[in-house]
């Protein structure tokens, strides 16, 4: 579903009205402003039931999935569903964790994994889950250290300084972490305080034939028949506090485990989603739309086309490589297809025209008053001028990210030794520190090489580096491309690649481990891959840190002006990996002329899609048996069928994967996992008619756990509401 844009409305008459209920990613502490609208749609609780500092509330069950290095860089969402810290998320969110424990002998991706006892649960190295303790609007505290005469760089520095102070104060004397986040292009600021757990264990996952049914073909599509879920458990130290993995740790005792509804959902039912949406850019201008359509999206798609083809070729040739690259392939393919759909939807919905109409209205409003004209009048011209000069930079930045930083792993794996090289060079006699770092690097290296295939990476590196070299101007080329490749190899990356992989210590685990037995800075400094890594990283910082100060200020003024222009409109900030609530209703839709999609799918559709010759549509034997016997237990719908997925009009994006879907009573009815193809422009412009959130029905999740896997131990933990 992994910086897009903003929405106002489809017609001029709607431009000044309030948003529809299904649009909006709302901050929890401000949800009271939406209460009457939510209640009218079927919400049965109170705002304090959702967010409370003094009492347990739904927020205490909603976790953001991260890692030890970036605990608040949430990549997915999750929810606690038992009093023993049991957690639901998506299968694709747990995919890397499942893959990390898979081998040829025990292929948990293919066969699934179930822990029938707690001592069978598998620790997931580096995975964290964070829960919101509280949030606070600190806008006034931040603005107090700013003034209009500051340069943008001085403003940024002042914001960073006060943010660190506020974060330090919030963490003092606690086990908490804290993060100050800008909202509305830096016009508002909120402090988020979290508690982060570091001992997370894999409990259950269906086989990919269930959890990834439909594969890339069905990705972003409706109708959907995917059991996209996996199960983890949060552990704490014996004292109940966050702790790293230990056999002495105990399951978390949560404040608010969510009850689960077996009643099912009907068209028109209230539905709310809570999770950690990653990134939207709904306040982007028309010039940003043009750049996405003409520059960045086509570049991303072309590079990923090539990378996916090379990965697929290797994966099809060897079962071991298939396991090694399964997660990498899925991550690459997800947004490859997304950007294809986004470009198509942007054009079909004339989002560019909508943006231009908004900008026209804004300029008219700004020009109507001398004071407004002085403050806001030049904002759009400044933004337009920036984009007209920025095309080459944007293309280079996209290629750097996609073809080099996310291309061959030979470029970024050496970054693990960046600090190590400095220590070897500047403190060669500090044997204790070097020994500790060496031990840590060996652990990371073993994990890396477990999922690394040198011939595959060699092909990817050569092909994507060649694309970068052929497309990007010299001023944005790494030095090694401009000198060694251009002069010595005449631009031939096949020859350059052969030499680099032969001479570098990084492609071969034996050579690398031998280096770690007697590490020296000289070896790293002379290594071609290490040199290239340094050059690529430096180029990244150069490109990513080159935003024009006037453009940044103009964006902030444009956002500020939009809100002042519509004082009665209830605005929501762009997604930025902070917890949000969205609300709407269960429902069907009409994607195009003469086509109607129902709001739910059933197990019958799984059988209809079965294709034994296509690994995306294989149906497990056990699932077919249960279908033929109609053995659905207590999880069947009132109509006697086994519902699999359903759609709502909730507003979600990447990062919402794994988010809980609840009814008006705060009971779990599903897990969100995707958006629909017809509205792929949603991160830029929400479509009130077409936008759908695709959810796996919680009854199908329980059916797979109970009837398919026989993991009755997990069912017994949950509070099921009939």
Write out the catalytic residue numbers: 92, 228, 657
| Tokens 């086309």 -> residue | 305
Strand partners, 195: 131
Counts of helices then strands in the chain (DSSP H, E) = 28, 23
The answer to whether 468 and 403 have CB atoms below 8 angstroms apart is yes
The answer to whether 282 and 6 have CB atoms below 8 angstroms apart is yes
Buried b (16+ CB within 10 A) or exposed e, 444-455: ebeebbebbbee
Q: Are strands 720-721 and 260-261 parallel, antiparallel or unpaired?
A: parallel
Angle subtended at Cα 144 by Cα 143 and Cα 145, rounded to the nearest 5 degrees? 90
Tokens of 197: 């757990």
- The secondary element (H helix, E strand) that includes residue 661 is strand 660-662
The answer to whether 88 and 671 have CB atoms below 8 angstroms apart is yes
* Cβ neighbours of residue 362 closer than 8 Å, sequence gap 6 or more: 376, 380, 558, 561, 562, 565
The residue among 587, 500, 583 whose CA lies nearest residue 535 is: 500
| Tokens 């080159």 -> residue | 546
Q: Is 585 helix (H, G, I), strand (E, B) or coil?
A: strand
CA 470 from centre of chain: 31
Measured distance CA(327)–CA(14) in Å, rounded: 43
Buried b (16+ CB within 10 A) or exposed e, 703-716: bbbbbbbebebbbe
Count of residues in the chain: 722
Tokens of 296: 């960045």
* Cβ neighbours of residue 168 closer than 8 Å, sequence gap 6 or more: 178
Tokens of 163: 């943010």
- The secondary element (H helix, E strand) that includes residue 551 is helix 549-565
Query: Could you give the C-alpha distances from 649 to 71, 455, 682, in angstroms and in order?
Result: 30, 45, 12
CA 86 from centre of chain: 22
Measured distance CA(443)–CA(616) in Å, rounded: 34
| Tokens 């988020």 -> residue | 192
Measured distance CA(704)–CA(722) in Å, rounded: 18
Q: Are strands 127-137 and 177-183 parallel, antiparallel or unpaired?
A: unpaired
The residue among 645, 621, 648, 620 whose CA lies nearest residue 699 is: 645
The residue among 332, 329, 371 whose CA lies nearest residue 99 is: 329
* Cβ neighbours of residue 313 closer than 8 Å, sequence gap 6 or more: none
> Does the bond joining 686 to the residue before it have cis omega, within 30 degrees of 0?
no
Measured distance CA(287)–CA(385) in Å, rounded: 9
| Tokens 């399951």 -> residue | 251
Measured distance CA(696)–CA(672) in Å, rounded: 7
Tokens of 454: 């040198």
């Amino acid at each position: 579903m992994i910086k897009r844009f903003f929405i106002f409305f489809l017609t001029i008459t709607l431009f000044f009205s309030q948003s529809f209920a299904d649009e909006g990613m709302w901050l929890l502490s401000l949800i009271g402003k939406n209460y009457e609208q939510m209640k009218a749609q079927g919400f049965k609780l109170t705002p304090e039931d959702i967010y409370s500092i003094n009492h347990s509330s739904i927020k205490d069950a909603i976790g953001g999935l991260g890692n030890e290095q970036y605990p608040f860089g949430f990549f997915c969402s999750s929810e606690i569903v038992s009093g023993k810290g049991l957690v639901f998320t998506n299968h694709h969110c747990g995919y890397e964790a499942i893959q990390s424990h898979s081998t040829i002998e025990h292929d948990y991706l293919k066969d699934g994994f179930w822990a029938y006892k707690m001592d069978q649960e598998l620790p997931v190295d580096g995975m964290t889950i964070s829960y919101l303790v509280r949030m606070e609007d600190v806008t006034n505290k931040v603005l107090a250290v700013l003034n209009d005469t500051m340069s943008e760089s001085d403003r940024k520095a002042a914001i960073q300084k006060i943010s660190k102070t506020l974060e330090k104060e919030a963490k003092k004397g606690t086990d908490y972490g804290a993060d100050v986040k800008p909202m509305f292009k830096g016009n508002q600021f909120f402090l988020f305080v979290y508690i982060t757990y570091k001992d997370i264990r894999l409990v259950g996952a269906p086989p990919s034939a269930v959890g990834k049914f439909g594969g890339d073909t069905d990705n972003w599509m409706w109708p959907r028949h995917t059991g996209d879920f996996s199960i983890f458990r949060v552990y704490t130290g014996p004292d109940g506090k966050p702790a790293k993995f230990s056999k002495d740790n105990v399951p978390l005792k949560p404040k608010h485990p969510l009850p689960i509804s077996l009643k099912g959902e009907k068209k028109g039912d209230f539905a709310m989603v809570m999770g950690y949406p990653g990134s939207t850019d709904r306040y982007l201008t028309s010039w940003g739309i043009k750049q996405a359509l003409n520059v960045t999206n086509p570049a991303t798609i072309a590079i990923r086309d090539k990378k996916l083809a090379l990965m697929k070729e290797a994966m099809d040739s060897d079962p071991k490589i298939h396991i090694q690259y399964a997660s990498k392939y899925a991550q690459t393919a997800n947004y490859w297809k997304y950007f294809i759909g986004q470009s198509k939807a942007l054009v079909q919905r004339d989002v560019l025209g909508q943006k231009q109409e908004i900008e026209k209205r804004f300029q008219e409003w700004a020009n109507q008053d001398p004071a407004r004209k002085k403050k806001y009048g030049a904002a759009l011209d400044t933004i337009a001028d920036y984009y007209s000069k920025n095309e080459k930079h944007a293309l280079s930045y996209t290629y750097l990210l996609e073809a080099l930083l996310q291309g061959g792993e030979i470029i970024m794996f050496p970054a693990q030794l960046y600090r190590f090289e400095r220590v070897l060079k500047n403190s060669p006699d500090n044997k204790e520190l070097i020994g500790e770092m060496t031990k840590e690097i060996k652990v990371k290296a073993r994990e890396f090489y477990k999922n690394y295939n040198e011939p595959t990476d060699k092909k990817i590196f050569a092909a994507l580096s060649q694309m970068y070299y052929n497309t990007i101007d010299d001023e944005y080329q790494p030095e090694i491309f401009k000198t060694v490749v251009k002069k010595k190899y005449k631009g031939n990356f096949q020859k350059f690649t052969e030499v680099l992989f032969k001479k570098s210590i990084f492609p071969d685990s034996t050579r690398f481990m031998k280096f770690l037995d007697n590490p020296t800075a000289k070896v790293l400094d002379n290594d071609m891959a290490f040199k290239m890594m340094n050059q690529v990283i430096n180029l990244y910082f150069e490109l990513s840190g080159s935003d024009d100060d006037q453009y940044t200020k103009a964006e902030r003024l444009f956002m500020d002006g939009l809100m002042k222009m519509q004082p009665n409109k209830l605005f929501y900030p762009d997604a930025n990996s902070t917890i949000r609530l969205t609300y709407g209703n269960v429902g069907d839709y009409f994607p195009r002329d003469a086509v109607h999609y129902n709001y739910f799918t059933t197990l019958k559709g799984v059988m209809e899609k079965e294709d034994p010759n296509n690994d995306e549509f294989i149906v497990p034997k056990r699932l077919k048996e249960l279908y033929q016997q109609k053995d659905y237990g207590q999880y069947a719908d009132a109509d006697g069928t086994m519902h699999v997925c359903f759609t709502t009009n909730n507003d979600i994006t990447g990062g919402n994967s794994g988010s809980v879907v609840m009814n008006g009573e705060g009971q779990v009815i599903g897990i969100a996992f995707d958006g629909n193809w017809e509205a792929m422009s949603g991160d830029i412009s929400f479509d009130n008619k077409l936008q759908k959130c695709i959810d796996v029905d919680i009854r199908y999740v329980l059916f797979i756990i109970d009837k398919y896997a026989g993991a009755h131990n997990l069912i017994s933990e949950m509070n099921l509401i009939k």
